[in-house]
Structure 1
Amino acid sequence: MVSSQFSGMSVAGMCKPLLFPVNDPGTVTTDHIEMDFSDVFGPLTVEVNNIDNPSFDSVDESSELVYDDPEVIFARSHSLVGPSNCVSQSLKLSKLTIHESDSDNLLELVESVTEEAIEDIKEVINEESLNDEDRSLVEIERVSIDDFEVLKVVGQGAFAKVYQVRKKGTSEIYAMKVMRKDKIMEKNHAEYMKAEREILTKIEHPFVVQLRYSFQTKYRLYLVLDFVNGGHLFFQLYHQGLFREDLARIYAAEIVSAVSHLHSKGIMHRDLKPENILMDVDGHVMLTDFGLAKQFEESTRSNSMCGTLEYMAPEIILGKGHDKAADWWSVGVLLFEMLTGKPPFCGGNREKIQQKIVKDKIKLPGYLSSEAHALLKGLLQKEAPKRLGCGAKGISEIKGHKWFKPINWKKLDAREIEPSFRPEVAGKYCVANFEKRWTDMPVVDSPAASPNGGNPFKDFSYVRPTASFLQNNSPAC
């Protein structure tokens, strides 16, 4: 993902100060707020309460409690992938969590790249090309790590780092996801990585981040995507506290539109959460991170244990097999968190959270409208066949819900409905809306070992045809 003439260019001076300052997890202050967004966001939280609040203990199925004191949650689980077989009813998942261990001997990315670049590009890139259907659309373009200049780190996960990069000779800015093959092979997750690349080549939607290029070297895989620099939805939730219903409605509608498009293409996302939703300069949300996504058939169910615990549907936790209905549960959790500042089932250890998801009744805040209550109840229905969006009418059950009555779905998909909030973005180089723990990182990477076994990533290279969006039909409704 880097050029051999690595620059490490700093862009700190190019961004204006954030409207809401970045703080250490644990407290949120209101110092230096320049504008009042109280008509858009809920009340700012001055201090983070214990997430094990007694008011969130298990409730009886016959009662429905409400709470009026919203608080923002900062601690959460990481995405995980478990075994393909069904899990036991003991609900113990602690051994399935993925952790990334950084080497003590960090090398500058340019040092590890220079050794492999020329050999790998000749060996891998030259033997791969575009699919046959793409040849008629555009002249074949080949890309490699030498075509990009690394600017900043903007994210980090279990197998990957994400960098802000510039394509050399242009002013085009991208996000480059770099994955180590040795780590992928160690965890036996090659199929997930191949599926992510394959799925991204099939998606074209106004609220989904687009894959522009993919390629590989001997040691790493590279996905080059649109750079969306309004920050993650979680970043904005962290600073704003919670969203008013009118704003949350637009975000939720855009997410629903994106997820329904995925389902129409036979794709489940399976890891919907605020960290996997970006916000662009115009305030629209963009779905990203398809590392756990899977292609499916309507008549089949998946038994993989995957996702992020607070957003997992009950059927995933119980190992009963799941289908696209699990995504609609996650959308319900997302909406609940946008409106209240925390997921509906959280607090305590992993096993306690699982028990809450499977057994506890949702507790609806009294300050939400009755229409929001109804939608949340429908999406957070524990029995998948009864869940909103999973009946005979499909997605129209959600789009036609009374809470979404103000939404014109055609205008929404045309990006003609403008959110009432836009993140502070000072130009396309600005990284102010990403967490400082990432953007302050030196642009380094751990030295990678040779992956064991052969190379399972044949035909990984891809260049998106520039005319493809114009030739596609409009997104499925």
Structure 2
Amino acid sequence: MSIKFLLVLVLLSYHLSCREELARIYTAEIVSAVAHLHANGIMHRDLKPENILLDADGHAMLTDFGVAKEFDENTRSNSMCGTVEYMAPEIVQGRGHDKAADWWSVGVLLFEMLTGKPPFVGGNRDKIQQKIVKEKIKLPTYLSSEVHSMLKGLLHKEAGRRLGSGPGGSDEIKNHKWFKSVNWKRLEARQIEPSFRPNVAGKTCIANFDECWTNMPVLDSPVASPVAANSNFVGFSYVRPAPFLQKPSPLG
């Protein structure tokens, strides 16, 4: 899904408790995006509603790659990262994780779109982590048996048995019966029009952003250098050479 620029974006969290059909299209687009990342050796590791945005045409897109990491199929990461409600059990337990952790988060997103909240909530951070590791998922009876199967597959606590973690990779998810009606070629060509399209007045329109974001004060990044930081070095153009280009020190 390549787009030259993003217009006004809408958080998926505004569409909680949506119909299964709408959730199916959003989830399919998220699956397609995550599969593309994995095919290029990248784990996102922080999938959550705030990081799933809608473009001006209503298509879902991923953002915020602050904790994304390159990987290969033979290694596991031991970083404790992500947002607790969306963390896979193996991340919570510090057992090391791979791309299967992203599929767990996709399952949490789907559950939240359909019910209005993540599957494991309540209490403090420690209690939520305990629930993620120990509690069984409780699926509402009003959801179809097909989406029940999808959620059970994505939210399997054993990473190696999770849907999408097998030899078939993302095709295991794309071929699931809940996605039977999805034409993946048309979807990835952006030819399936979502039923919701945000009302966008122009590139600078902020009408679709919650005021909690637009009213936030603009603060300098804590890692940004002050404008005056280099005032004592005006006119200098020295750049430290890369370490591998430097000769070994005679002092050892």
Common topology (TM > 0.5)? yes
1:207-234 per-residue CA deviation (whole Å, 9 max, x = no partner) reads xx77xxxxxxxxxxxxxxx333132212
Which amino acid in 2 is paired with 1:244? R
Whole-angstrom distance in 2 between the partners of 1:311 and 1:446? 26
Tell me if structure 2 keeps the 8 A contact 1:228–1:279.
no
Which amino acid in 1 is paired with 2:53? L
1:325-375 per-residue CA deviation (whole Å, 9 max, x = no partner) reads 000000000000000000000111111100000000000001100000000
Query: Partner of 1:356: helix, strand, or coil?
Result: helix
Which amino acid in 2 is paired with 1:390? S
Which amino acid in 1 is paired with 2:10? G
Whole-angstrom distance in 2 between the partners of 1:370 and 1:446? 47
Which amino acid in 1 is paired with 2:70? Q
**Which of 121, 125, 134 matches 1:346?**
121
Structure 1 runs of 4+ aligned residues shifted over 3 Å read 441-451
Whole-angstrom distance in 2 between the partners of 1:302 and 1:328? 15
5 Å matches for 1:13-412? 205-206=1-2, 226-234=5-13, 236-237=14-15, 241-412=16-187
Instruction: Please report how far the alpha carbon of residue 449 of structure 1 lies from its aligned counterpart in structure 2 after TM superposition.
Output: 5.6
Instruction: Please report how far the alpha carbon of residue 441 of structure 1 lies from its aligned counterpart in structure 2 after TM superposition.
Output: 4.0
**Structure 1 segments unaligned to the other structure (5+ residues):** 1-204, 211-225, 459-477
5 Å matches for 1:426-445? 426-441=201-216, 443=218, 445=220
Which amino acid in 1 is paired with 2:36? H
Q: What TM-score do the two structures reach when normalised by structure 2?
A: 0.85
Percent identity of paired positions between Structure 1 and Structure 2: 70
Which amino acid in 2 is paired with 1:243? C
Whole-angstrom distance in 2 between the partners of 1:250 and 1:305? 30
**Richer in strand (by share):** 1
Which amino acid in 1 is paired with 2:160? P
Whole-angstrom distance in 1 between the partners of 2:91 and 2:170? 21
Query: Partner of 1:278: helix, strand, or coil?
Result: strand
**Richer in helix (by share):** 2
Bigger Cα displacement from structure 2, 358-367 vs 423-432: 423-432
The one of the two structures with greater contact order (alpha-carbon pairs below 8 A, sep at least 6) is: 1
Instruction: Please report how far the alpha carbon of residue 290 of structure 1 lies from its aligned counterpart in structure 2 after TM superposition.
Output: 0.3
Instruction: Please report how far the alpha carbon of residue 443 of structure 1 lies from its aligned counterpart in structure 2 after TM superposition.
Output: 4.6
Query: Partner of 1:271: helix, strand, or coil?
Result: coil
Tell me if structure 1 keeps the 8 A contact 2:7–2:202.
no
Whole-angstrom distance in 2 between the partners of 1:304 and 1:443? 30
Whole-angstrom distance in 2 between the partners of 1:264 and 1:389? 12
Q: What TM-score do the two structures reach when normalised by structure 1?
A: 0.46
**CA separation of 1:363/1:441 partners in 2, compared to 1, >3 Å: closer, same or farther?**
closer
Tell me if structure 1 keeps the 8 A contact 2:7–2:204.
no
Tell me if structure 2 keeps the 8 A contact 1:329–1:380.
yes
**CA separation of 1:446/1:373 partners in 2, compared to 1, >3 Å: closer, same or farther?**
closer
Tell me if structure 2 keeps the 8 A contact 1:228–1:278.
no
Query: Partner of 1:306: helix, strand, or coil?
Result: coil
